[in-house]
Each structure stands twice: as structure tokens, then as C-alpha cells.
A and B are shown apart, each in its own frame.
Chain A
Amino acid sequence: MATVTEAEAPPLAPRPAPKPPKKRGRLVPYWLLLPGLLWLVVFFALPMIYQASTSVQTGSLEEGYKVTWHFATYWDSLAEYWPQFLRSVSYAAAATVLCLLLGYPLAYLIAFRAGRWRNLIMILVIAPFFTSFLIRTLAWKTILADSGPVVHTLNTLGVLDVTDWLGWTAGDRVLATPLAVVCGLTYNFLPFMILPLYTSLERIDGRLHEAAGDLYARPWTTFRKVTFPLSMPGVVSGTLLTFIPAAGDYVNAELLGSTDTRMIGNVIQTQFLRILDYPTAAALSFILMAAILLMVTVYIRRSGTEDLV
């Protein structure tokens, strides 16, 4: 009979999920969480502690390292590598702004204007993910080659004279300059901007646009007052998903840049894998982590979308 009364009760009121049976059920969430969380604790959190300890050790490869609370490593490495830090932040910031400027129209196009082409365009945005990003980054060497059509056109139009003067390019070439690195970073992280933008644009009720139009808002005003504010969650998560990996990247700087465009990721990689100066490498990656976490926290606070996490 219980089922009948259930069915007669007003069925549409959302009810909380059924409480798990007592005693046995109370442990279920912990068993579900245990293996995965253990994995993250041992292979993500614990390494951070090891690295914190490494960053205050002194010694050498032959004699071994000991914890001596040598905090000077932090100041020394910051004093030596601050240009690379600054470069990482500015390249990543430039790439993030470019991603937003380039990605927004495409996300908007997919969400509102693509019609039956929507799925196809979506596939074309995601599909490059499945070709190794290193191969695609190497392709930029061909596109931006000194004798290639892109550089030739930019030269004829006089664009390179301007960028040379700004210090973005050098000697009428694009490869091995900051412009090439920023271009590669923008390209590599653009999908990470487009997807969250699309997700938040797609949720917007199309009737809001019509309402704005009915109230005599011009298209640009509609965008500024209605569409863009509503897409803010996408803008925030898109900029984070672009900025964070771009700031730590060393692949683009290595493949498309030169020794003058080395970013902090390049330094950490070289210190760790070639010079084998573990304390300096550990200190540098801690500074990078702290800087990024700080920037991200401030940014999320200021943009007022704290329900992101």
C-alpha cells in the first residue's frame, strides 16, 4: 500500500534525496571518496610538502641535501630570475586578452548565430585537441617563417616596423620574438576560453535580446547591458583557464621563442632537469604557485563570482 500513498501525494514538489540507510550507509561516502582522495593526497599534496622542504635545503648532488631552513634561496632566485617572472606574467596576460577578444565572437557565433552549423563548428573547435599540441605548435614555425607569406605581408604593410619599434619583434622577423610566443600561447589556450564562454552564453534566454530590442536598445547597447554582464561567469573562468596554464608554460617559449623570450617555466625546467639545482627549482615553482594563487584569489574576489569553485 505504501506505493499507492506515495503516488497519491502531490508528486511534483522536489524532495531531498532519500536518506541512506543507517549504520551501513553512513560510511558509504567515505568509501567512495577514499581511493581517489588518497591518490590526490599522496601524489598531489604530499609532493607539495616535499617540494617546500626541498626549497629550504642546501647541499650538493654528490653530498646530498639537508634541510637548513635556507630561505635565502627564495630571495636569490627571485633576484636572479625576476625578468623571467615578469615576462611570464605579461605574456600570459597578453595571450589572455587576445584569447578573450578572439574567442568571444566565435563563442557568440556558436551560441546564437550558427543555427544548424552549431555542432559542426563545435567539433572543429574541439577536434584540434586530439592532434598533439606540440605538432600544432611546430606548424607555427612554418606559418611565421621568415620567407613565408605572413611575414611578407606584414612587412609590406609596414606592421613589422611598428612592432619592431615596440620591441615585440626584431629585425623584420616574427619567429624567435615575443610576438611569436604570445601568438603561440594565444593559439594553444584559445579553446579553454571559447568553451566556458559558450557554456555561459548558451544559457542566456534569447527572449532577453528581443526584450532589449523592444525597449529600443541598439544591438551594441543590448550586448553591453544584457549579453556581456550575463556571460561574466564564462569570462571569469575562461580567463583563469587561459592565464594559469599560459603563465606556467615553457613549450611555446622554447619552440617559437629565443633565449630573450625565456619564461619562468623554462627556468624551472632547466634548473630541475639539466642543472639539477633542486632547491632553486623548488623555490621558483613555489613562488610561481603563490603568485598565481594570489592573483587568482584577488581576481575572483573582484569579479564577484565566488561560486566558481
Chain B
Amino acid sequence: MPFVNWLKRHLVVIAGLLTLGYLLLPNVVVTVFSFNKPKGRFNYEWQQFSTDAWKDPCGVADMCGSLGLSLQIAVWATIGATVLGTMIAFALVRYRFRARGAVNSLIFLPMAMPEVVMAASLLTLFLNMGAQLGFWTILIAHIMFCLSFVVTAVKARVMSMDPRLEQAAQDLYAGPAQTFLRVTLPIAAPGIAAGALLAFALSFDDFIITNFNAGSTVTFPMFVWGSAQRGTPVQINVIGTAMFLVAVLFVLSGMIIGNRRNRQKA
């Protein structure tokens, strides 16, 4: 019975690793199929190894343009949502004011609303106002739905902060601005960074709200959606693989730097 016992002891680990496999399988497929040379217009069946797509990642009309647009929108949406969200988070944690409950629900509701509902109602607003759909309407929408996530991330960090640190700074004759810049902000920074990262990922990858409010402007997710109907170029997989690698490297290097800093302090 040693095998059964071993299995019993490691059941959770095995089940967990299987789930991890389920999560990563599509990424493996995306990577493998970035080296495919499909016969027809669609890249769903394996044919032949080739590095053509990697040598010419922008070889598909309009794809890299849409990628650039998505990056641009994501950067601006991240900046907008992070600034506005951080301000709200500080107000919520640090101050007492009227209508607190209403403010909290207004921030919670966008996260509890199906995207398609927000997308449709926002389009109703834009149509009623006669707004020109495009870059600006997409940016407005992205800041709107990223905002609540930033507030939540920053709030968690600021709440766990020891207010006595700021008192100490003031006791040492730091002015309000100095206290904020040299004590409060550095301590809140990890929360703000987490919120910003989340906002970037959400904005860059958003399809549903963008699809409703983009007019004829095409972001990268919309390009992929369109290609699912017209034919999927291999270059899509190249971009997908590159994005995955960049993300992993980015997070890994962040972690290594963080570890090193902690070790230096200790």
C-alpha cells in the first residue's frame, strides 16, 4: 500500500498541479502554434514548423498599429485611474465625511456589474451626447472601470499603515508636504504599484467595453476578435507569446529586486 499512501498524502498537490496545467495549457498551445505554417487562413491545426512569423511580426496589415494603440490607451488609462483612485483611497481611509456609504457603493458597483451592462449603458450616453466614438471614448471608459480596482488595491495598503509613522515625521518637524512625500507616499507605493499594474492589465486586455465604445477604431483585442472571423494570422500567436514572456520576466525581476532589498535591510 505505499503507493496508495503516497497518493493520499499528495492528493492536493497533484490536483493543484493539474489545475495549473489547465491554466497554462492554452499558453503552451499559443507558443507552439506561433511556429506553425498553416495551410488555410486559420491557425488552428498543426502543419509544419516555421519561424516566418517570428521574423516578421508586423507582417500583417494593421496588427501592430492596433497593438500600439492598445498600449497607448493602457498607459493613459493607467495614469488616469491610478491618480484618481489613489486620491479616493486616501480620502476613504484617512478622513471622515458625509455620505461615506454612498461613496463606497459607487466604487463597489462597477466591479459587481457585468461588463456588457456597463458597455451598453455607456454607449447609450455617448450616442445621446452625440460624441464621436474613438480614442477618447475608449479612454474614458477604461479609466471608469479601472478606477474601482485601483481604489481597492491602494485602500488595502493605506489601511495597514501605521499612522504613528506620520506623527513621528511631524514630531521631527517635517511639514505636511514633506511628510506626505517622504513618509506616506513611499509606504503606500506598493499598493499604488499593484493598482497601476492591475489597471494596465485590465485596460490592455479589455474587449467587451471597448467593442461597444470604439466606433471604427481598432484596438489589439478587437483585431484578434475580427481575425477570429476573417482568419487568424500566426503573428497573433507571436505577440501573445512575447507578451507572456515579457510579463513573466517583468514580475520575476521585480521579485528579485525586492528580495535583494529585503536582504540588504536585514
Q: Do A and B come from one complex?
A: yes
User: Which residues 211-243 in A have Cβ within 8 Å of B in the complex?
Assistant: 240
Chain A positions within 8 Å of B106 at CB level: 37, 40-41, 44-45
Within A119-169, the residues touching B (CB, 8 Å) are: 119, 121, 123-143, 145, 147
Residues of B contacting A129 in the complex (Cβ-Cβ under 8 angstroms): 201, 205, 247
Query: How far, in angstroms, from A248 to B37 measured CA to CA in the complex?
Result: 36
Known: A39-B84, A106-B19, A125-B23. A44 touches B144 (CB 8 A): yes
By the criterion CB–CB under 8 Å, are B112 and A130 in contact? no
Q: Is B193 an interface residue (CB 8 A)?
A: no
Query: Is B24 in contact with A135, judged by CB distance below 8 angstroms?
Result: no
Main secondary structure of the interface of A (DSSP, over half): helix
User: Quick one: which of A28, A136, A138, A288 contacts B228, CB cutoff 8 A?
Assistant: A138
A289 → chain B closest CB, angstroms = 5
B236 within 8 A of A: yes
B: number of interface residues (CB 8 Å)? 92
Q: How far is it, in angstroms, between the C-alpha of A145 and the C-alpha of B29 when the chains are bound?
A: 12
- Asked if B189 lies at the interface with its beta carbon under 8 angstroms from chain A, I say no
- Chain A residue nearest to B109 (CB atoms) is A44
With beta carbons under 8 angstroms apart, the residue of A124, A143, A293 that contacts B20 is A124
A positions within 8 Å CB-CB of B:
3, 6, 11, 15-18, 20, 28-30, 32-33, 35-37, 39-41, 43-48, 50-51, 54, 102-103, 105-110, 113, 119, 121, 123-143, 145, 147, 187, 190-191, 240, 244-245, 247-251, 255, 265, 268-269, 272-273, 278, 281-282, 285-286, 288-289, 292-293, 296, 309
Kindly name the residue among B104, B105, B108, B207 whose own CB sees the greatest number of chain A CB atoms within 10 A. Answer: B207
Q: What total of A-B pairs shows CB separation below 8 Å?
A: 267
A110 touching B16, Cβ below 8 Å: yes
A36's partner among B88, B104, B124, B228 (CB-CB below 8 A) is B88
Residues of B within 8 A of A102 (CB): 18-19, 22
A44 touches B110 (CB 8 A): yes
Residue among B171, B244, B252 with max Cβ neighbours from chain A (10 Å): B244
Q: A126-B251, A309-B108 are in contact. Are A289 and B20 (CB under 8 A)?
A: no
